[in-house]
Structure 1
Amino acid sequence: MSSTGDGERGDSRIAEFEYDVETAVVTGATGGVGCWVVDRLADRGIHVVGIDVDRPDGTRPNAEFRAVDLTDHGETWETIHEVDPDAVIHFAAISGTLDDPGTRIFENNVMSTYNTLVAAGRAGAEIVWTSSQGVYGTLFADEPWLPDYLPIDEAHEFRPEDSYGTSKVCSEEVAKMVSRRYDVPVTSLRPSTIYAPGHYRTRPQRENFDLSTDELSGNFWSYVDVRDVVRMVEAALAAEYDGHEAFLCVADENYLGENTAEIIEATAGELPDSCELEGHEAALSNAKAEAILDWEPVHAWYDAEAAETPRPRWL
């Protein structure tokens, strides 16, 4: 559950999740998050088959890499059928709404998710995949707007105004369908903006932030460390539940180091009638993940933004 403190995280919050997985497929394996998942699972001795549009130049113990176009159902189904994994972790997607046409984003994300999840379901594999905070609609809205209540939780209505958020809404319906049809557990993660240690973009935003001139942020200044996203993947694999579950994946606090309700009210001009934010608490709630997955964020911007953590050597 979100907290208001700014102190450094304690080691007691770092849980070691135990799960029975011998072989896992990770899509988007060379991407900014997928590569971290590959490394973590391989470090635990799991045989990882990393899938992306291109194979990396290097090699990695306990991992092999295949170039697969996930929008091609034949390639996708053949690959997953051959690997016969215990788990499929699907991170492949196009997220840059300003870099690609909306039709390309929508078609790629929905088709690749459908092909991957159906193939995983047919193989009887457990599924963890990344949806997004974009399903709520505030992230890429033309005009900033407030949610019905704060903090936002998993039950808040979806109101996407863009191809990316809409692709994730459609893909969550695919996730539910796959879980029903093939009777496999499917977990949809909804991360906030993901940062990697040593690559945080928060310092310039904090230094230049001005309540009198800045506009409301579509993510309400929420974020999550990539290492905590990886930990939620592990938490989902370790959890025991049937059907489909969705979880917001977000750090406890905003990345400005300011009172969250105050900065939202100052930039939006008002707050929702129901606002239960306290202190620096994030505007998106991670309470469900704590209750069901026993997951809490461990890493925060104030102790990670200056860290030097290189990308995996096999890339």
Structure 2
Amino acid sequence: MSRVLVTGGLGASGRWIVDRLASDGHAVTCVDQRFAESERGTVDVRVADLTDRGDVFDLVGEFDPDAVVHWGAIPDPLDHPGGEVFENNVVSTYNVLEAAGRADARVVWASSESALGFPFAAEAAAPDYLPVDEDHPLRPEDPYGVSKEAGEALARTTARRHGVPVVSIRPSWIQYPGEYVCLDNDPPAEGVGNFWSYVDVRDIASIAAAALSADVDGHEAVFAVADENYADRPTAELFEERFGEVPEPCDLSGDDAAISNAKAADLLDWEPVHSWREAADEDVDEPVI
């Protein structure tokens, strides 16, 4: 059993990560802005402001984790002032990653596909090539995407300064079993920013778990995406219809996802196992904290 501290552990996707890690036998400290009674003897729920360096260093120092999963953040630029989104996400990421590095704890944290710059761009634009991979340039123009690009710079700094492995997970649009809101859109008019990609929250929990045990040196960024688009149409056809052309080079077949998860497969031995075809109507138990 290892000790893992999870920030944002009571959030929509954070809960699934806590449940997965606790089920795997880890002792988990779940940190959030609110308190909830834990139903597990191996989960300790704590309240903290991640933008308060004292709170973060105090918690990490007390718990002395083997690993930190930093999942707490304002998740988009739409519901808060832009400056608040940027400041909250960057300051909290600095605090958590620096505290983890000083504690010699490996780090897994939530970056985002938004670091590419497409999901919240003022004008929809196509990527340079298909499928998009981790070598694609990052061009964010919104405070959320910029905060994630800055977070990846902090991740590289943490790995260099403290010699701990750091994995930046870039999830696509996270969907929940029985609640696949992506299917409420009418492609290609909507959902252009992530190019009709998505990922099931259970696959997010599994990639976080995989990143904690993978043999990683330094910093690595990986996309977390389902294998196929949610539009149930050929992906190249969607690009042709929406943008008037297909980015070249294009190495896609049928409804292959426009964003590649190949690096996650190679580096973390991870592959998504959930598809919208079954998960959209799936009835599963809620995660247990």
Fold shared by both chains (TM-score > 0.5) = yes
**Gaps in structure 2 of 5+ consecutive residues:** none
Q: Deviation string for 1:239-279 (max 9, x for gaps)? A: 11210011010000000111001011101111223222210
**Whole-Å Cα distance in 2 between the matches of residues 79 and 203 of structure 1?**
40
Per-residue deviation, 1:93? 0.5
Q: Which residue of 2 aligns with 1:172?
A: 152
Q: Which residue of 2 aligns with 1:87?
A: 67
1:67 aligns with 2:47: yes
Q: Which residue of 1 aligns with 2:214?
A: 239
**Whole-Å Cα distance in 1 between the matches of residues 263 and 25 of structure 2?**
29
1:150 aligns with 2:130: yes
Q: Deviation string for 1:82-141 (max 9, x for gaps)? A: 100001001000013211111010000000000000000000001000100001101100
Q: Which residue of 2 aligns with 1:140?
A: 120
**Whole-Å Cα distance in 2 between the matches of residues 202 and 80 of structure 1?**
37
Q: Which residue of 2 aligns with 1:101?
A: 81
Per-residue deviation, 1:309? 2.5
Per-residue deviation, 1:307? 1.1
Q: Give the TM-score of the pair, scaled to structure 1.
A: 0.89
Equivalent residue letter for 2:195: F
**Gaps in structure 1 of 5+ consecutive residues:** 1-20
- Alignment counterpart, residue 17 of structure 2, candidates 37, 53, 60: 37
Equivalent residue letter for 2:230: Y
Per-residue deviation, 1:310? 4.1
Q: Which residue of 2 aligns with 1:276?
A: 251
**Whole-Å Cα distance in 2 between the matches of residues 155 and 259 of structure 1?**
24
Q: Deviation string for 1:198-224 (max 9, x for gaps)? A: 11113332xx44x6xx26710111000
**Whole-Å Cα distance in 1 between the matches of residues 103 and 35 of structure 2?**
24
Deviates more, 1:231-240 or 1:118-127: 231-240
**Whole-Å Cα distance in 2 between the matches of residues 147 and 159 of structure 1?**
10
**Whole-Å Cα distance in 2 between the matches of residues 69 and 308 of structure 1?**
34
Deviates more, 1:110-119 or 1:231-240: 231-240
Per-residue deviation, 1:57? 4.2
Does the Cα contact within 8 Å between 1:136 and 1:160 map onto a contact in 2?
Answer: yes
Equivalent residue letter for 2:41: P
Q: Which residue of 2 aligns with 1:191?
A: 171
Q: Which residue of 1 aligns with 2:265?
A: 290
**Whole-Å Cα distance in 1 between the matches of residues 272 and 190 of structure 2?**
27
**Whole-Å Cα distance in 2 between the matches of residues 236 and 312 of structure 1?**
20
**Whole-Å Cα distance in 2 between the matches of residues 63 and 86 of structure 1?**
15
Does the Cα contact within 8 Å between 1:144 and 1:216 map onto a contact in 2?
Answer: no
Q: Deviation string for 1:156-194 (max 9, x for gaps)? A: 000001000000000100000001111000000001000
Q: 1:235 to 1:58 in 2, by over 3 A?
A: closer
**Whole-Å Cα distance in 1 between the matches of residues 67 and 258 of structure 2?**
31
**Whole-Å Cα distance in 2 between the matches of residues 114 and 152 of structure 1?**
27
**Whole-Å Cα distance in 1 between the matches of residues 19 and 104 of structure 2?**
24
Does the Cα contact within 8 Å between 1:216 and 1:268 map onto a contact in 2?
Answer: no
Q: Which residue of 2 aligns with 1:23?
A: 3
Equivalent residue letter for 2:214: A
| Identity level (%) | 49
Per-residue deviation, 1:44? 2.0
Q: Give the TM-score of the pair, scaled to structure 2.
A: 0.96
Q: Which residue of 2 aligns with 1:253?
A: 228
Aligned residues: 289
Equivalent residue letter for 2:18: V
RMSD value, Cα? 1.4
